[in-house]
Chain A
Amino acid sequence: MAEMEILIQQCVNALSLGGTYALLALGLAVVFSVLGMINFAHGEILTIAGYTVFFAIVGNVPPILIVPLALLVAMATAALMERIAFRPLRGANGTTLLITSFAVSGILQMLFQNLISTRPRPVPISASLTGAFNVGPFHIGVIQSLSIFATFAMVGLLTLFLKRTMLGIAIRAAAVDFPTTRLMGLRANRVILAAFAISGLLAGVSGLLWIAQRGSVDPLMGFLPVLKAFIAAILGGIGNLTGAVIGGFFLGAIEIGLQAVLPESVQPFRDAIALSLVVLVLLYRPQGLFGAAHSVRP
Chain B
Amino acid sequence: MTWIGRRAITRMLDLAALNRTRPAFAGALVLIVPVALVAVVAGNFLGSAEQRIAIIFLINLIAVVANGLYSGNSGIMSFGHLGFMGVGAYLSAILTMTPEKKAMTLPNLPEFLAQAHMGLNEACLVTIVVIGLFAFIVGTPISRLTGSAASIATLAFLVIVHSILNGATDFTRGSQTFFGVDRLVTLPSLLFWVALSILAARVFRDMPAGLEIRAAREDELAAQAMGVNIARRRLIAWVISAMMMGVAGAMIGHFLGAFSPKKFFFVDTFAILAMLIIGGIGSVTGAVVGTAVVTVVMELARRLEESPILPSLGLPQVFGLTQLALGLGILFVMYKRPGGMLGLAEVDDWFKHRFSVAAAKITSFAAEKRDGALVVANVAKNFSGLKALDNVSLELRPGEIVGLIGPNGSGKTTMLNAISGAVPPSSGSVTLDGVAVAGKPAFRIARLGLGRSFQNIRLFKEMTVLENIEVAVSASGRGGDIRAEAMAALEELSVAHLAERRAGALAYGEQRRVEIARALALKPRYLMLDEPAAGMNSAETRALMTLLREIRDKYGLGLLLVEHHLELVMSLCDRVVVLNKGQMIATGTPAEVQNDPIVIEAYIGRAHSAHSSPSAATERSLS
- Residue B366 lies at the interface, judged by CB distance under 8 Å to chain A: no
Which applies to chain B's interface (DSSP): helix, strand, loop or mixed? helix
A268 touches B163 (CB 8 A): yes
A106 touches B335 (CB 8 A): no
- Closest chain B residue to A265, Cβ basis: B167
> Can you list 12 pairs linking A and B with CB atoms under 8 Å apart?
A36-B148, A100-B330, A102-B273, A103-B328, A106-B327, A107-B328, A110-B320, A110-B324, A227-B155, A234-B145, A270-B163, A298-B422
- Closest chain A residue to B164, Cβ basis: A272
**Proximity bits, B202-230, A CB within 8 Å = 1, else 0:** 00000000000000000001100100000
A106 touches B270 (CB 8 A): yes
A92 to B337, CA, bound (A): 11
Interface centre among B151, B383, B414, B456 (most CB of A within 10 A): B151
Are A283 and B330 CB-contacts (below 8 A) given A269-B167, A272-B160? no
Cβ-defined partner of B335 (8 Å) among A89, A227, A271, A275: A89
Chain A residues, CB < 8 A from B458: 298
Rounded to whole Å, the gap between the CB of A36 and the closest CB of chain B is: 8
**Proximity bits, A78-109, B CB within 8 Å = 1, else 0:** 00000001001100111110111011101101
Within 8 A of B (CB), among A248-288: 268-272, 275-276, 278-280, 282-283, 286, 288
Within 8 A of B (CB), among A10-48: 32, 36-38
A99 touches B152 (CB 8 A): no
| A-binding segment of B136-144, B176-184, B248-256, B429-437 | B136-144
Chain A residues, CB < 8 A from B156: 227, 230-231, 275, 278-279
**Proximity bits, B312-351, A CB within 8 Å = 1, else 0:** 0000001110011011101100110010000000000000
- Residue A238 lies at the interface, judged by CB distance under 8 Å to chain B: yes
A248 to B338, CA, bound (A): 33
- Residue A134 lies at the interface, judged by CB distance under 8 Å to chain B: no
Within 8 A of A (CB), among B155-177: 155-157, 159-161, 163-164, 166-167, 169
A-B interface pairs (CB < 8 A), number: 144
- Residue A184 lies at the interface, judged by CB distance under 8 Å to chain B: no
A234 to B327, CA, bound (A): 26
- Residue A223 lies at the interface, judged by CB distance under 8 Å to chain B: yes
Cβ-defined partner of A295 (8 Å) among B142, B147, B423: B423
A104 touches B327 (CB 8 A): yes
A109 to B456, CA, bound (A): 44
A103 touches B327 (CB 8 A): yes
Chain A residues, CB < 8 A from B456: 298
Chain A residues, CB < 8 A from B160: 271-272, 275-276
A275 touches B148 (CB 8 A): no
- Residue B526 lies at the interface, judged by CB distance under 8 Å to chain A: no
- Residue A114 lies at the interface, judged by CB distance under 8 Å to chain B: yes
- Residue B378 lies at the interface, judged by CB distance under 8 Å to chain A: no
Cβ-defined partner of B151 (8 Å) among A32, A98, A100, A298: A98
Q: Which residues of A contact B (CB under 8 A)?
A: 32, 36-38, 85, 88-89, 92-96, 98-100, 102-104, 106-107, 109-111, 113-114, 223-224, 227, 230-231, 233-234, 238, 268-272, 275-276, 278-280, 282-283, 286, 288, 294-298
Interface centre among B75, B156, B327 (most CB of A within 10 A): B156
- Closest chain B residue to A231, Cβ basis: B156
A106 to B225, CA, bound (A): 39
A231 to B417, CA, bound (A): 31
Q: Which residues of B contact A (CB under 8 A)?
A: 75-77, 140-142, 144-149, 151-153, 155-157, 159-161, 163-164, 166-167, 169, 221-222, 225, 266, 270, 273-274, 277, 318-320, 323-324, 326-328, 330-331, 334-335, 338, 383, 413-414, 417, 422-423, 454-456, 458
B151 touches A286 (CB 8 A): no
B417 touches A269 (CB 8 A): no
Chain A residues, CB < 8 A from B423: 294-295
- Closest chain B residue to A223, Cβ basis: B266
Chain A residues, CB < 8 A from B151: 38, 95, 98
Chain A residues, CB < 8 A from B155: 227, 230
B277 touches A99 (CB 8 A): yes
Interface centre among A32, A106, A294 (most CB of B within 10 A): A106
Chain B residues, CB < 8 A from A234: 145, 149, 152-153
A280 touches B141 (CB 8 A): yes
A268 touches B338 (CB 8 A): no
- Closest chain B residue to A294, Cβ basis: B423
Rounded to whole Å, the gap between the CB of B444 and the closest CB of chain A is: 16
B335 touches A282 (CB 8 A): no
Chain A residues, CB < 8 A from B414: 297
Cβ-defined partner of A109 (8 Å) among B76, B153, B169, B323: B323
Cβ-defined partner of A99 (8 Å) among B163, B225, B330: B330
A92 to B339, CA, bound (A): 11
B319 touches A89 (CB 8 A): no
Are A271 and B327 CB-contacts (below 8 A) given A38-B148, A234-B149? no
Known: A103-B274, A103-B334, A106-B326. 18 other contacts (CB 8 A): A93-B338, A96-B338, A99-B77, A99-B330, A99-B334, A104-B327, A106-B270, A106-B323, A106-B327, A110-B324, A227-B156, A234-B153, A268-B169, A271-B163, A272-B164, A275-B159, A279-B157, A282-B145
A107 touches B324 (CB 8 A): yes
A104 touches B331 (CB 8 A): yes
Sorted nearest first, the 3 A-B pairs with minimum C-beta distance are: A268-B167, A107-B327, A103-B330
Cβ-defined partner of A279 (8 Å) among B153, B164, B273, B335: B153
A230 to B79, CA, bound (A): 13
A110 touches B323 (CB 8 A): yes
A298 to B328, CA, bound (A): 38
B334 touches A89 (CB 8 A): yes
Rounded to whole Å, the gap between the CB of B330 and the closest CB of chain A is: 4
B159 touches A227 (CB 8 A): yes
A16 to B274, CA, bound (A): 37
Chain A residues, CB < 8 A from B318: 114
Chain A residues, CB < 8 A from B142: 279
Rounded to whole Å, the gap between the CB of A257 and the closest CB of chain B is: 17
Interface centre among A107, A113, A269 (most CB of B within 10 A): A107
- Closest chain A residue to B328, Cβ basis: A107
Chain A residues, CB < 8 A from B225: 298
Chain B residues, CB < 8 A from A107: 323-324, 327-328, 331
Are A238 and B163 CB-contacts (below 8 A) given A96-B338, A103-B327, A298-B417? no
A43 to B103, CA, bound (A): 42
Rounded to whole Å, the gap between the CB of A23 and the closest CB of chain B is: 18
A88 to B331, CA, bound (A): 11
Chain A residues, CB < 8 A from B323: 106-107, 109-110
- Closest chain B residue to A276, Cβ basis: B160
